Structure 1
Amino acid sequence: MAEMGEVRLSFRQLLFALLLLLASLQTVMSAALTLRCYCWPDCPIHAVNNTCIAEANAKCYSAMVRTSYGEDIMTYGCLSGDEGQSTMQCKGDIVYHLTPKTIACCDNGTHCNRDLKPIYKYFATTTPATGPENYNGFSDHMLQVVIVVTVTFCLICIIITGTCLYFRFKRQQKRHLEEAEREQFIPAGESLKELIEQSQSSGSGSGLPLLVQRTIAKQINLVKSIGKGRYGEVWMGKWRGEKVAVKIFFTTEEASWFRETELYQTVLLRHENILGFIAADIKGTGSWTQLFLITDMHEHGSLHDYLKEHTINAHSMLVLAHSAANGLAHLHTEIYGTRGKPAIAHRDIKSKNILVKKNGTCCIADLGLAVRSISETNEVDIAPNTRQGTKRYMAPEVLDETIQKNHFDAFKQADMYSFGLVLWEIARRCVSGGIVEEYQIPYQDLIPSDPSFEDVRKLVCVDRQRPAIPNRWTSDEYLRTMAKIMQECWNHHPAARLTSLRVKKTLYKMEESMELSIKDLI
């Protein structure tokens, strides 16, 4: 920055240089446009090299007189500066003289009169007068004008370029200063965990300060792409050596980015089974824009990817299911108080939006479609974006458009239908008696991989089909209970479905019972 400042001109210096250039330019133009005439044989005292300087509004002339002996005498010089007198003199050849005379005038360049060939208009002879060797005055004058114009244009370009660079450097300097000011908010050695704990202990419960978020976003190094979706792309990034996930939204998905960022800032939303939010920022200028959402990094990826690659035992099944239900219950629950948390419905529950943590538990992700309950006015805050949930996981009332959008509980009930399908995906990968099913997404054998809205509506609402329950589940206590829970979750009637809190408690009891059994065996 110091080196850039040393070579940079100040605005006053640029302005002073511009004035000097304009003054020099004026002098050059005046000198170039002054009319110089060829004079011969009689030249004024101030003439140099047979060149006289014409007065303002004057012209150069070339005159010829033929003597009685038939000899032509040529004279060259500058006419008077009196415009009327000059005009009369230039037309002197049309008046009859006892002695033949003719004259020609010009003002189109230095020595323009030297190549003039006056002729007799009213006498028989038209032989041109003899005189000095012709001189191309017009070309010489035009050359001077071209040189002056070219130099002027170059000087103007240099001045404009210098001015633009000056202001560009000023903007860069201002931006660097702003970034330096932001960075001082995060002391060296401070980790993300420490920053978040400090924020939580301050009592806000709604994430890091915006200034700190912007600092973190600008210091992220993107390492590799780890996933793509309809909203954008997910990258693994690093901040001070710590791994983070960077969700980069398409510019067309700005509403989803804004909504998700807004919801992550909700007071008391942070929870062990909700994806940990770190920062959000918009990067780029003009037509190039990146919408960043930075969260905790979970290298196992989504529950969908995890189940495709792994089979699980009954204990792992219960841990995955209970932790996911715990996160959903936290979303659905309103926390009362002066700085309370509103109830939130996800609206896009599916295995791809649930991540698996290193310890084998789950956390809920992707809040871009979530809605909030405004308990004071009994209204529902619905996101104003065009995105819809995943058709395969949509509840019957969403598919046939009978959902009561002015009642918040209707959205929670739709979440529970989708959660029932996720429980089915988890249970299929649980090994019992040495048997396990291949991983499948819901209704994989019944509708296309990219079904239409009508395909799913007919299957779920008209035919009222649900995923098949394998026979082996009936002989396993835990799978049998899981089957009962999921069937109550995907009930066709919304009011008959289990709540997230009820599912959470049931799964917790099952998990606790299994852990006690394991301890007894040990």
Structure 2
Amino acid sequence: MHFKLLYLSLFGFIRLKSYCNADCWIWDSFVLSSSFRCLLFVMYLYFQMNILASYLEDAHHSFVPLFGQCSAFTDMRSENYDDFSCAYFNSDVCNGTAENCPTPETCENSGNSSQGCYAVWKYVGEQAQVMFKGCWTNEMDCDFDRCIAEEPSVDSAVRSVEVYFCCCNKPMCNREFQVGSKSFSETFSKIDRTNTTILTVDDSLRNVIFSLISVLLAAVLILIGFYFVRRYRLRFLLKSLESHSTALPKRLPLSLSNLPQRQIRLKDKISRGHYGCVYKATMGAQQIVVAVKVFSANNSDSWVQEQEIYAVPGLKSHPNILRFLGAEAHGTGPNYDYWLITEYHQRGSLHDHIKVHSISFQQLLSIGVSILRGLSFLHEEVVSTDKYKPTIVHRDFKSRNVLLKDDFTACVADFGLALKCEHGRTPNDTHGQVGTRRYMAPEVLEGATEFSAFAFRQIDVYAAALVLWELMSRCSLHGEEPDEYKLPFEVEVGLRPTLQVIQDTVATKKRRPIIKDSWRVDSHSKVVCATIEEMWDGEPEARISVGCAAERLNALWHVGADLDSDPKDELAPLMIAEQQHCDA
């Protein structure tokens, strides 16, 4: 058993280490599903090694139990028998000397009969008393590795005494015997008990104890191995960055081919986030104004993630997606800064603009339609013969991640948390609760997110509804100035709510930002309010898609928003058509 434990522990650790070297989920993910898979793998590995170790134990014995001087001698050392041998005992002739009780007995080969061992015993009280042990001509069905008796026979000499018989086909397999699954100790006739050592062996209990110990020790060794290998990999990664900094790519192939050699100078800091900073910069001899998003070394994953999203066909040319120009790495060793270069829009983010300026209803429609079109393009899956565009979900949609152009159209930006859902499936290491708290959908706050493309799209729809609400809250209707800008749920929970407060407000109490009655007076703005309410419905399946919402606002935009007139006759058939489109 000690051999088994050592073999299991060392071999299991080596197998797990090699299994986890190739960007394995064990190192990179600690969510419940990955931990469960890890546990299943450890259990599978243990049982496989346990089976193998059981076979090895039969050939490599490790101890010698001695049942008295005349008992069956159990040799469990690692040796190969040239002749077939069995444990020997005869209660009629054994008087306690080695001459009368040879152990073990070498069996003679008797022609075509296969060789085996046998044991016969009876019980005195609760104690097993061996009567005979020795070689057995295996002409009956004795295809067992262990000596096991299923039921007793009656001794012909003493009819009231039940006698047990078992046979087996392995050398020395009769050194221990049992009835069913219970193993018994031995006592012997005609033996001086003062010179006898009796060992009680309970196989079932012993196996349970050793199994529990081996599982516990193996688990401890594996966990220790995880810890040290993980630390080793982290140190190795840092040393690699430090010693091989020149090997890091200075430019990635995602850069546009028609760009000149970039000579970028950072100018003014525009904004700052958890990932790093955004700068206004100039590029090249022509001093082209660009925006440079500088990621710190700790956020290099977001830098890579944004480039992977921009590599999706069509994203770099869509008018409502922030135009990507290139990526660079600057610095030495572990002090690298990672740059993402995009177009510059002087109006800045939608949040920054409407915080200071109010907007007209026509501008609201222009901004709203372009936002929803950009988001709809991300959500769309395009399958064609030459190019495939997967569904992309933003997962951190908010007014700060929307940039405003000079013509009052908008483009979606910041894809650090975006996710590609190829063929409707999400990656295995996806985390559900990401993004900005006050923009999280109820199902995200409750931790009840389905990991599907549809579920993640509906989360974006909810966040887009809050952005439209922000636009409505800063829109001048009928010439009246709007109230001061406030974030969604700022009135309800304040500026810095905890996750628990947001969860209680949005998911438990099912509250939403207030839509004022004055916003519903006009037939056009009433449609926008109704669209917002359908987008932030508490049930994900009940929310309309961003494509449907875009069509509704686009219909209003083309009809024209003359708030001094009452275009009900003009608007009614249009809204009926759009409602039919959404329902379809």
CA-CA distance at 1:231 after TM superposition: 0.9
Q: Which residue of 1 aligns with 2:329?
A: 282
Describe how 1:206-355 pairs up with structure 2 within 5 A: 207-208=254-255, 215-216=261-262, 219-240=263-284, 241-270=287-316, 271-337=318-384, 338-355=386-403
CA-CA distance at 1:421 after TM superposition: 0.4
SS at match of 2:414: coil
CA-CA distance at 1:518 after TM superposition: 11
2:366 and 2:557 in contact (8 A); partners too:
yes
Give the Cα separation in 1 of the matches to 2:427 and 2:562: 43
Give the Cα separation in 1 of the matches to 2:521 and 2:296: 48
Runs of 4+ in 1 over 3 A off after TM superposition: 206-209, 211-215, 381-387, 515-519
The AA in structure 2 aligned to 1:359 is D
Q: Deviations over 1:441-469 (max 9, x none)?
A: 10001113122111110000111000001
Residue of structure 1 aligned with 2:476, choices 431, 445, 458: 431
Distance 1:466 1:387, change over 3 A: closer
1:268 and 1:340 in contact (8 A); partners too:
no
Q: Which residue of 1 aligns with 2:560?
A: 514
Q: Which residue of 2 aligns with 1:357?
A: 405
Gaps of 5+ in 2: 1-243, 568-584
Give the Cα separation in 1 of the matches to 2:279 and 2:389: 30
CA-CA distance at 1:477 after TM superposition: 2.0
1:367 aligns with 2:415: yes
2:458 and 2:540 in contact (8 A); partners too:
yes
The AA in structure 2 aligned to 1:296 is E
Distance 1:421 1:517, change over 3 A: closer
Distance 1:230 1:454, change over 3 A: same
1:422 aligns with 2:454: no
SS at match of 1:285: coil
CA-CA distance at 1:257 after TM superposition: 1.1
SS at match of 1:237: strand
Give the Cα separation in 2 of the matches to 1:252 and 1:212: 31
Describe how 1:110-509 pairs up with structure 2 within 5 A: 207-208=254-255, 215-216=261-262, 219-240=263-284, 241-270=287-316, 271-337=318-384, 338-375=386-423, 378-381=424-427, 388-405=434-451, 407-435=452-480, 436-509=482-555
Distance 1:517 1:472, change over 3 A: closer
CA-CA distance at 1:429 after TM superposition: 1.1
SS at match of 2:529: helix
Give the Cα separation in 1 of the matches to 2:395 and 2:541: 17
SS at match of 2:388: coil
Give the Cα separation in 1 of the matches to 2:308 and 2:496: 31
Q: Deviations over 1:184-225 (max 9, x none)?
A: xxxxxxxxxxxxxxxxxxxxxx9535x877943xx1111111
Give the Cα separation in 1 of the matches to 2:431 and 2:335: 22
Distance 1:463 1:404, change over 3 A: same
Give the Cα separation in 1 of the matches to 2:541 and 2:366: 27
Distance 1:445 1:296, change over 3 A: same
Give the Cα separation in 1 of the matches to 2:564 and 2:329: 50
CA-CA distance at 1:379 after TM superposition: 2.0
Q: Deviations over 1:207-262 (max 9, x none)?
A: 535x877943xx11111111101111000011121110000012111111111111
The AA in structure 2 aligned to 1:429 is R
The AA in structure 2 aligned to 1:433 is H
Give the Cα separation in 2 of the matches to 1:228 and 1:383: 28
Distance 1:395 1:517, change over 3 A: closer
SS at match of 2:426: strand
Stretch deviating more after TM superposition (355-364 or 263-272)? 263-272
CA-CA distance at 1:418 after TM superposition: 0.5
2:522 and 2:563 in contact (8 A); partners too:
no
1:255 and 1:385 in contact (8 A); partners too:
no
Distance 1:420 1:382, change over 3 A: farther
The AA in structure 1 aligned to 2:389 is K
Q: How many residue pairs align between the two structures? A: 317
The AA in structure 2 aligned to 1:293 is L
Distance 1:281 1:383, change over 3 A: farther
Distance 1:434 1:354, change over 3 A: same
CA-CA distance at 1:387 after TM superposition: 9.0
2:398 and 2:464 in contact (8 A); partners too:
yes
Give the Cα separation in 1 of the matches to 2:260 and 2:353: 32
Q: Which residue of 1 aligns with 2:160?
A: none
The AA in structure 1 aligned to 2:334 is S
2:379 and 2:393 in contact (8 A); partners too:
yes
CA-CA distance at 1:281 after TM superposition: 1.6
Give the Cα separation in 2 of the matches to 1:318 and 1:391: 26
CA-CA distance at 1:473 after TM superposition: 1.0
Gaps of 5+ in 1: 1-170, 183-205
CA-CA distance at 1:413 after TM superposition: 0.3
SS at match of 2:332: coil
CA-CA distance at 1:409 after TM superposition: 0.4
Give the Cα separation in 2 of the matches to 1:310 and 1:382: 43
TM-score, reference length from structure 2: 0.51
Give the Cα separation in 1 of the matches to 2:296 and 2:490: 29
SS at match of 2:389: coil
